[in-house]
Chains A and B, each alone.
Chain A
């Protein structure tokens, strides 16, 4: 008998891109999916149509068939006509997140699942070596989907024995997922776990060569293996490519995420990874530095260019976005002064390289009792902020100049506004102190970010809000509510005004300081968004997630333009190279992965750390990549060497496969140990001195 999805009074179902809310009048009647006719392949010839108007006695209108299948919104919808079923169908009046959950329905006899799986296992193990690696990718998704199907259909004992028998065969990097799975033994357990629900309704992507695929298809379409073939078709998306099958090493580098790999077409959109042109303005002539004669204010001239994409300041860089692609705030006088300062500092910048490593200055937070959860340093390295688990945000001045707040309005009206040092006069000397504590959050502060003009500070917390603080009055200005769940990371745009936040609700949001609601919502991750970063040109946002993928989103229209898989644990740090072309990512697996944004490929893997990498930063000109980790070390890597000699031939671009050289040892320039202080933040000053921050932990 066909099993139906059980529902409550309301269920939202996505159908072909639109959401239909199906409401029933009585709690006893299940909500069912409305399936538009005429769409998709008529696979199992099953569908359920809504019984509006509440006729509990009637049960449902459905077509009886061996299997009832209502596919997930991301795949084709099966549909059919109507068939009356006499008599009421037993329903449980239990809430169900969405009727689409009924995607998991009986594919066959539950007791035979072990047979199916071991049959497939035997086939794959007996296949040719060259195909075995690729076909082994099937094990994990099939195992999980079959297990979840048994659980959903309440065959608890079969599910348990299935799990016991086969969970040891899976790859080691899936062990965390399997542990979570082992705790889901009943259907009720599945309902609260959004990640598992997303896993069920999304298709696991596998990249297999055509030869291997033919082999598999031939085998599965034999009669006795039809059930597995059904499951494969239902829950897996096989991205076929023409060419040599991949080796185990190549596959291991790219797999690991909760959704398999990325489809090749997901990484084909054009990305404007170039930098925006700096505005041209007159630099005041100054005797002490030579750049005075440089009238056009091109700070980029100071940095050696790594990419030769014709980025003279006169010609438009073809890879750079148009200046007005997204609206950016205008340059104020104070910003211009800041840029001049920046250029002066840049002239004195140390050129780093394998022979000239940066000096590292470590700021240790003492007596934090493992409560330090976020750190940020301003671009000019004048202030450092710490977010703590006791919900406070503390700002320190790094330079001898103390932090002052602005005078009250009455006092301000008394000062002479025309004097030259008006900016000093507006500051209230009585409030000068090295430390300012900001109270306001009601939960641990997980992310902090200074604005580029040092007027504002953002902090995001477990209480679900992002707070904007003024660094002139040291008070809270706005609380942005949108995520109703812990917000894990936030960052200001490099030009100010915009900021991005990502949290437990699996989305990242783009805000502007003067809008109380987000401007963009970036939805697509299967698990929490743990890390959010802006691209240097402010047109793209990278998000790292607990589903082990990194996605690159376009700010203009919210589309996901790149998906990078390969990490084996949640991503905790992201860093864009200063030229905008590359992205470095660090995760709990201790590896730093390097990605070419333009081509959408993994170009490097830096092994060495033994614990989660929480901090990644490129030096000011992109020659050195510094990584800081929970294993109490800071490591420096040669970024120039890592990014040269990229293979970008047609095959690579077409298939996305690259042979990564094992050159981590060559690229490692230095390892610096701290005294039991995990490194939480890294920052290169304008002169390429490396600052690091962490809290001393005494064990």
Chain B
């Protein structure tokens, strides 16, 4: 990318020559050649927008043709909307006076990282773990709600098996390091929102219960992972770890 001198006037269309002349009049001697194109595009777009707006206003006022007043109104509305300019000086002086009157706040010692309240920070997790809902499958009785405890999705490759495929409720082992390779399949994993990390394998809350997945039935199903907002810190370690482990496998995370 090199800054070029003015575009050769011989081959440029008249509008481009006008743009080059404007740049020259404003004292700009070095510019990339594409600046002219950008200026042309802007000019075309702006004029088109204004004229279209003017047409709308004139038809609204039931006039037969567009006249100067319509154009003026169109310009005025667009200026307020697109081309804002910074506040005027007296306004700034006034708000400055107001702000500068309050004394500087005292600093509490030893209060950790000094950040604004959480809602003004960008530190909250931007995903949420949805609480489990009851889901009735076609073969009732065989498969209950696939409630998994967090971090406990362990399976063998290519089989979405969680524990033993039996009709009973099976509690899932909370093997933390277990990788989940659910390549090619998507699973609905409804993760309880109140499950703290490091809990024992058997979830104790009633909402999170046992997993029963019959591999033969799971096969063709598509299971989606849904997520909810958790209150910060509630299930933090698990989602983080989950994300860490399962990043490659889950595409909905």
Contact = CB atoms under 8 A, between A and B. Distances in A.
Given A12-B91, A329-B107, A329-B109, 9 more contacts: A175-B27, A194-B85, A201-B90, A408-B241, A470-B113, A484-B84, A505-B86, A506-B92, A555-B104
28 contacts: A12-B90, A14-B90, A94-B72, A95-B76, A98-B88, A176-B27, A201-B89, A329-B107, A330-B109, A370-B1, A408-B241, A409-B240, A410-B197, A413-B237, A468-B115, A478-B115, A505-B87, A505-B92, A506-B89, A513-B114, A513-B116, A514-B116, A521-B92, A521-B95, A521-B96, A521-B100, A523-B93, A556-B104
A699 B2 CA distance: 7
Given A197-B88, A409-B236, A477-B123, A330 B99 contact: no
Contact of B115 (A95, A485, A514, A518): A514
B86 A327 contact: no
A506 B86 contact: yes
Contact of A699 (B3, B91, B120, B237): B3
Contact of B94 (A19, A330, A470, A484): A19
Interface string B68-83: 0000100010011001
Nearest to A197: B88
Nearest to B27: A179
Nearest to A503: B86
Contacts of A281: none
Contacts of B107: 327-330, 497
A73 interface: yes
A684 to B, nearest CB: 29
A689 interface: no
A523 B110 CA distance: 33
B220 to A, nearest CB: 35
Contacts of B76: 93-95
A419 to B, nearest CB: 21
Closest 3 CB pairs of A and B: A558-B100, A14-B90, A516-B120
A515 interface: yes
B121 A478 contact: yes
In which size bucket is the chain A interface? Answer: 35 or more
A329 B114 contact: yes
A521 B99 contact: yes
Contact of A12 (B79, B83, B88, B121): B88
Contact of A410 (B97, B104, B237): B237
Interface string A546-562: 00000000011111000
Nearest to B120: A516
B122 interface: yes
Contacts of B184: none
B33 to A, nearest CB: 14
Main secondary structure of the interface of A (DSSP, over half): loop
A538 to B, nearest CB: 11
Contact of A557 (B27, B89, B93, B100): B100
Given A183-B26, A194-B86, A409-B236, A513 B115 contact: yes
Contact of A408 (B83, B93, B96, B244): B244
Interface in B84-143: 84-97, 99-100, 102, 104-107, 109-110, 113-117, 120-123
Interface in A497-520: 497, 504-507, 512-516, 518-520
In which size bucket is the chain B interface? Answer: 35 or more
Contact of B100 (A98, A332, A505, A520): A520
A395 interface: no
A1 B2 CA distance: 56
Nearest to A182: B25
Interface in A409-453: 409-410, 413, 440
A551 to B, nearest CB: 13
A152 B74 CA distance: 22
Interface in A313-329: 326-329
A626 interface: no
A524 interface: yes
Contacts of B72: 94
B115 to A, nearest CB: 6
A461 B121 CA distance: 18
Nearest to A507: B92
Contact of B90 (A19, A409, A515): A19
Nearest to A408: B240
A522 interface: yes
B122 A477 contact: yes
A179 B90 contact: no
Interface string A316-349: 0000000000111110100000000000000000
Given A13-B90, A179-B26, A327-B105, A478 B96 contact: no
Interface string A174-210: 0110010011000000001110011001100000000
A697 to B, nearest CB: 10
B176 to A, nearest CB: 8
A497 B120 contact: no
Nearest to A95: B76
A522 B105 contact: no
B151 to A, nearest CB: 9
Contacts of A518: 99
Contacts of B115: 468, 477-478, 513-514
B106 A327 contact: yes
A555 B107 CA distance: 15
Contacts of A476: 122
A455 B114 CA distance: 11
Contacts of B79: 95, 192
Nearest to B111: A514
Contacts of B87: 505
A343 B166 CA distance: 70
A497 B90 contact: no
A202 B92 CA distance: 14
B216 to A, nearest CB: 35
A479 interface: yes
A192 B197 contact: no
B94 A512 contact: no
A11 B117 CA distance: 35
Contacts of A14: 90, 93-94
A328 B115 CA distance: 15
Contacts of A194: 85-86, 88-89
Nearest to A470: B113
A610 to B, nearest CB: 16
B241 A478 contact: no
Contacts of A470: 113
B122 to A, nearest CB: 5
Contact of A524 (B93, B197, B240): B93
A369 interface: yes
Nearest to B73: A93
A384 interface: no
A549 to B, nearest CB: 14
Contacts of A699: 2-3
A519 B104 CA distance: 7
Nearest to B87: A505
A559 B97 CA distance: 9
Contacts of B1: 369-370
A383 interface: no
Contacts of A409: 236-237, 240
A97 interface: yes
Contacts of B94: 14, 18-19
A563 interface: no
Contacts of B89: 194, 197-198, 201-202, 506, 523, 526
B240 A504 contact: no
A100 interface: yes
A182 B97 CA distance: 35
Contacts of A455: 113
